[in-house]
């Protein structure tokens, strides 16, 4: 839940002057997103989301994020559309922060996705990959494979209280060695969402009505995005892997964009890599948690179990294909 920055009445009035979205009737902070401050605006023309980008988002990346959302929305994908102001810009400044007003999308995210939700996700992810294929800005993946070892070393360095067990260190060390030694070098690339967890997809009447939160989007292997989703959508709360959900996700994706043999072969390694990525960022936030912070960091433990699962996977058949 996130409203980090207070926006004064004057700043709001000034903001609305910049846009042609009618008169402001109401503005409420909403408990959505972890990185940014979000407000629901009601104007005489409808409802909108005002996002203020806080310090965890690099300002230089905003043209990529906003441009990607515009590109996707222009081509009919279910991304919320950033609204352009009177001078044709979708990026502005409010209360000293970069900010954007974005279309309000209906729909609800699901806390416990069913196999059918996983199929809808797979289909929508493939559509996103296709729709973004001609997006012209590039953004390297700042949390891609090359970033994992430095992140692990930073976590070890900051672990003053000894929260990382010795056996865990060795496990991650050998996972990193394996990943670095075997990471594929020639898979289909493109724009990936890179953070497509269940809370970033809205469903309405058995279809996907919105895909939000593009603030980790970047260029990387498309199959790596599938691997992120297999991790985020196909494990049960007790840690078990739901092969039915994985099969639904993969086959629905494959009906829209054919998954190549090289991608299928690499999938177990990509899944292990994606699990390492979320394990490491959670570990880092866990170790560096601030007393009394608004957002309690998630335990990395869940992703340690996922690393182990994928380590034991031999072929893509273990994912239901």
Distance CA 238, CA 289 (A): 25
Q: Kindly identify the residues of this chain, within the stretch 13-52, that bind its own copies according to CB under 8 A.
A: 24-32, 40, 42, 47
Using CA atoms in the order 189, 190, 195, 201, what is the torsion angle rounded to 10 degrees? -130
Of the residues 22, 98, 107, 190, which one makes contact with its own copies according to CB under 8 A: 107
Residue closer to its own copies (CB basis): 279 or 286? 286
Compute the half-sphere exposure of residue 296: CA atoms within 13 Å on the CB side of its CA.
1
Count CB atoms within 10 A of the CB of residue 129.
21
> What is the CB neighbour count within 10 angstroms for residue 156?
14
Which H or E run contains 46?
A: strand 46-52
CB of 211 to its own copies, least distance (A): 15
Q: How far is CA 90 from the centre of its chain?
A: 21
Among 187, 279, 199, 181, which residue's Cα sits nearest to residue 225?
A: 187
Q: By CB under 8 A, name the one of 45, 106, 173, 236 that touches its own copies.
A: 106
**In angstroms, rounded to a whole number, what is the distance separating the alpha carbons of residues 215 and 36?**
10
| Residue 202 is a binding residue for its own copies (CB under 8 A) | yes
In sequence order, what are the residues at sequence separation of 6 or more whose Cβ sits closer than 8 angstroms to the Cβ of residue 122?
226, 229, 248, 249, 250, 251, 252, 253, 254, 256
The rounded distance, in Å, linking the Cα atoms of 28 and 124 is 30
- Residue 309's φ and ψ, nearest 5 degrees, are -60, -50
| 108 near its own copies, rule: CB under 8 A | yes
Q: Which residue, chain included where needed, has tokens 């279809």?
A: 207
Q: Is 160 in the site for its own copies (CB under 8 A)?
A: no
Tell me, by CB under 8 A, how many residues bind its own copies: 32
Neighbours of 49 (CB within 10 A): 21
199 Cβ partners below 8 Å, 6+ apart? 109, 213
Residue 147 is a binding residue for its own copies (CB under 8 A): no
Candidate residues 34, 110, 187, 256; the one interacting with its own copies per rule CB under 8 A: 110
Closer to its own copies by CB, 8 or 170: give it.
8
Q: Cα–Cα distance between 67 and 136 in angstroms, integer? A: 9
Q: Please identify, using beta-carbon distances, which residue of 179 and 232 lies nearer to its own copies.
A: 232
Interaction with its own copies in 270-309: which residues (CB under 8 A)?
291-294
Which is nearer to its own copies, 27 or 137 (by Cβ)? 27
Judged on CB neighbours under 10 Å (0-12, 13-18, 19+), 94 is buried
What is the closest distance, in whole angstroms, from the C-beta atom of residue 96 to its own copies in the complex? 16
- In the complex with its own copies, the residue whose CB is nearer, 2 or 316, is 2
Identity of the residue, 13 or 180, whose beta carbon is nearer to its own copies in the bound complex: 13
Q: How far is the CB of 92 from its own copies (least distance, A)?
A: 19
- Select the span of 109-117, 161-169, 183-191, 224-232 touching its own copies (CB under 8 A): 109-117
- Shortest Å, Cβ 198 to its own copies: 11
Q: How far is the CB of 161 from its own copies (least distance, A)?
A: 17
Whole-number minimum distance, CB 142 to its own copies, in Å?
29
> Is position 111 an interface residue for its own copies (rule: CB under 8 A)?
yes
Residue 122 or 210 with smaller CB distance to its own copies? 210
Residues that bind its own copies (CB under 8 A): 1, 3, 6, 8-9, 12, 24-32, 40, 42, 47, 104-108, 110-112, 202, 204, 291-294
């Amino acid at each position: 839940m996130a409203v980090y920055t207070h926006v004064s009445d004057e700043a709001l009035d000034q903001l609305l002057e910049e846009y042609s979205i009618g008169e402001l009737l109401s503005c409420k902070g909403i408990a959505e997103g972890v990185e940014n401050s979000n407000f629901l605006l009601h104007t005489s023309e409808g409802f909108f989301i005002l996002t203020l980008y806080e310090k965890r988002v690099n300002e230089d990346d905003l043209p990529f994020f906003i441009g990607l959302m515009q590109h996707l929305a222009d081509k009919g994908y279910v991304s919320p559309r950033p609204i352009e102001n009177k001078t044709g810009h979708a990026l502005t400044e409010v209360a000293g922060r970069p900010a954007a007003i974005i279309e309000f999308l209906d729909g609800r995210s699901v806390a416990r996705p069913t196999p059918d939700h996983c199929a809808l996700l797979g289909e929508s992810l493939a559509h996103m990959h296709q729709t973004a294929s001609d997006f012209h800005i590039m953004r390297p993946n700042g949390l891609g494979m090359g970033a994992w070892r430095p992140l692990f070393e930073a976590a070890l360095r900051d672990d003053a209280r000894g929260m990382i067990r010795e056996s865990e260190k060795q496990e991650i060390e050998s996972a990193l060695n394996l990943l670095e030694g075997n990471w594929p070098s020639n898979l289909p690339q493109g724009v990936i969402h890179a953070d497509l967890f269940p809370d970033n997809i809205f469903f309405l009447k058995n279809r996907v009505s919105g895909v939000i939160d593009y603030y980790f989007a970047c260029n990387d292997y498309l199959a790596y995005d599938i691997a992120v989703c297999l991790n985020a959508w196909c494990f049960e709360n007790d840690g078990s892997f739901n092969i039915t959900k994985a099969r639904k996700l993969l086959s629905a994706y494959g009906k829209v964009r054919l998954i190549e043999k090289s991608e299928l072969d690499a999938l177990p390694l990509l899944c292990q890599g994606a699990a390492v990525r979320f394990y490491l960022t959670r570990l880092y936030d866990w170790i560096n948690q601030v007393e009394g912070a608004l957002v309690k960091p998630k335990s990395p433990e869940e992703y340690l179990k996922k690393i182990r699962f994928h380590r034991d996977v031999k072929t893509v058949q273990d994912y239901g294909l």
